[in-house]
Amino acid sequence: MNIDSRIRFRHLRCFLEVARQRSVGKAADVLSVSQPAVSKTLRELETTLGVELFDRSRRGVTLTEYGETFFRHAGASVSALRHGIDSVAQARGASDLAITVGALPTVAARIMPQSVKRFGAARTGATVRLVSGPNTLLLSRLHVGELDLVVGRLAEPDLMTGLTFEHLYSERISLIARPGHPLLGRQPFELQEIADYTVILPTAESIIRPDVDRFLTTNGIGDLPDRIETVSLAFAQAYLHMSDAIWFISNGVAARELSEGTLVEFPVDTSDTYGPVGLTARADVTPAQGVDLFMTIVRGVAREIGAGETLVS
């Protein structure tokens, strides 16, 4: 049954009003239509569903068991639709509106540019304030209301109290260097040899640092005598081009450079480092004006770009 083409908003509105009023006549008055029009709409809906939704008597109408079931879902559907319409209207009518979004470096580099561009093209009149930094900092600012939304990796459970997370895709960590790095030509490539070079790692408070440490330990790599710890993407990229350093970073951060060939990924299996990336928001507040629209845009960009990783269907 193709519900989209057979059940329309007028069917749901009519059904819900009759169920609330328990009277076809009263529902007709509220809807400003005739009683025969209400009865006809109800018959169309029942024919489409193949069940009777109401028991009709001289004392009025009452919901059948099928009607009770449909009432719960129909009410939720209409409520969600109205909320969506209100959100769009509020977003389009905003003049001095600003939404503040926290983004981990991986999404700031890959997902955010296109998302912000599309949000601007929607002409909501709203300004996007983009804040990038370590996950712990972004989540702390989200908790106190300084951010409307955080786009990044799923945090540890103790940091997620009072927050909701919507999974968009999963992303792995890559080992990256400049083209022509001496180790790239080794056959076979021995991962342990990276200890002979400068290694750029995320800082201890970075959300991907535990994954990096586990990867190194699993592969028998202990102390790295020549290491740099930073979350500065500009520094790391510049340093790679002037040295033989090796960079541990989320794949999405360097996706453009990898596709253009200005940076190269080592042929290493890092599948154990996959981590969920998504939308984190406060569970106890209604999204501010424009945030719903921005989240929808981020979902679309994530689907289209794919971040070169595993996407949620």
Q: Given this model, what pLDDT does residue 186 score?
A: 81
Q: Is there a contact between 248 and 194 (Cβ–Cβ < 8 Å)?
A: no
- pLDDT higher than threshold 70 for residue 156: yes
Confidence check: pLDDT of 99 > 90: no
Question: Which pLDDT score is estimated for 310?
Answer: 46
Q: Which of 45-54, 133-142, 147-156, 262-271 has the lowest mean pLDDT?
A: 133-142
How many Å apart are CA 4 and CA 177, to the nearest integer?
51
Position 307 pLDDT exceeds 60: no
Q: Are strands 163-171 and 173-177 parallel, antiparallel or unpaired?
A: unpaired
Which of 53-62, 95-104, 181-190 has the least mean pLDDT? 95-104
Checking if the pLDDT of 91 tops 80, the result is no
pLDDT band at 83 (very low <50, low <70, confident <90, very high): low
Domain 98-171+275-311 is of which CATH architecture? Answer: 3-Layer(aba) Sandwich (3.40)
Q: How confident is the model at residue 6 (pLDDT cuts 50, 70, 90)?
A: confident
Taking alpha carbons only, the member of 242, 194, 245 closest to residue 216 is: 194
pLDDT greater than 90 at residue 169: no
The whole-chain average pLDDT of the chain stands at: 84
If you average pLDDT over residues 277-294, what whole number do you get? 84
Q: Which residue is listed with tokens 């001289």?
A: 58
Residues present in the chain in total: 313
Q: What is the pLDDT of residue 86?
A: 57
List, by residue range, all CATH 3.40.190.10 domains of the chain.
98-171+275-311, 173-273
Q: What residue ranges of the chain are covered by domains with CATH 1.10.10.10?
A: 3-93
Q: Give the pLDDT score at 295.
A: 93
Mean pLDDT, residues 25-54: 89
Q: How confident is the model at residue 308 (pLDDT cuts 50, 70, 90)?
A: very low
Q: Tell me the range of 80-84, 229-233, 283-287 where mean pLDDT is highest.
A: 229-233
Judged against a pLDDT cut of 60, whether residue 38 lies above it is answered with yes
Picking from 238-252, 269-283, 296-310, which range would have the lowest pLDDT averaged per residue?
Answer: 296-310
Q: Which CATH homologous superfamily contains domain 173-273?
A: Periplasmic binding protein-like II (3.40.190.10)
Q: What is the pLDDT of residue 215?
A: 93
| Rg of the chain in Å (alpha carbons) | 27
Q: Is the pTM of this model over 0.75?
A: no
Contact predicate 259/155, CB 8 Å: no
> What pLDDT is stored for residue 90 in this prediction?
61
For the record, the structure tokens of 19 come out as 């169920």
Confidence (pLDDT) at 311: 40
Residue 235: predicted pLDDT: 93
Task: Identify the CATH number of the domain defined by range 3-93.
Answer: 1.10.10.10
Backbone phi, psi, residue 199, to 5°:
-115, 125
Whether the per-residue pLDDT at 262 is higher than 60: the answer is: yes
Query: Between the ranges 37-51, 92-106, 144-158, where is the mean pLDDT highest?
Result: 37-51
**Minimum mean pLDDT range among 124-138, 192-206, 216-230:** 124-138
275 bridge partner residues: 171
96 band by pLDDT with thresholds 50, 70 and 90: low
